[in-house]
Amino acid sequence: MKSLIHWYFKALELVMVLCLAAMCIMVFGNVVLRHVFDSGINTSEELSRFMFIWLTFLGAIVAMREGGHLGMDVLVRHLQGRARWLAQMLSQLLMLACCAVLLWGMVLQHDINVANTGMVTGLSMVVVYSVAYLCAISIGAMLLVNIVGLLRGRELPENDFTDAA
């Protein structure tokens, strides 16, 4: 199972790298075309925007795994025993609720996204925003693992999902 999780996150990182590289090439190419040849590729602007959306959501998943999200642990570091456990559990449950709200909002928006397309590319917005489903489910799964660990008496480490290697 750890190997599968490892490769899942490696695939996410690869998609992020490809999105960033494609964005750089398209934006730089468009700048050169506009300044040198007084023309441009309209689809590159829209695709760059769409890839930025994917990059942001995939980055949120990877950052969650690596413990890279901004956290306020000033209070929790000073708590001991049951109070610390309760604060950690509350934070995990609140983040899980946020994932549930994101997922529910995406379900409610699904029909609207099916009907909308990109102005230039004609790409369905379902394709663009489908990454939000992946984000909510992936982060939610990591939070559930943390919650189960807390219920079993294990304290949350700084970084629960990274590899030891």
Q: What is the DSSP string of 13-46?
A: HHHHHHHHHHHHHHHHHHHHHHHHSS---HHHHH
More confident site: 77 or 100: 100
pTM to 2 decimals?
0.84
Closest to 164 in 3D by CA, of 16, 2, 1, 17 = 2
Round to whole Å and give the CA distance between 91 and 89: 5
User: Rounded to a whole number, what is the largest CA-CA distance in the chain?
Assistant: 67
Question: Tens digits of per-residue pLDDT, 101-119?
Answer: 999 999 999 988 888 988 8
Q: What is the pLDDT of residues 5-51, one digit of tens each?
A: 999 999 999 999 999 999 999 999 999 999 999 888 889 989 999 99
Identify whether the C-beta of residue 30 lies closer than 8 Å to the C-beta of residue 42: no
Q: Give the angle 126-131-133 at the CA atoms, nearest 5°.
A: 90
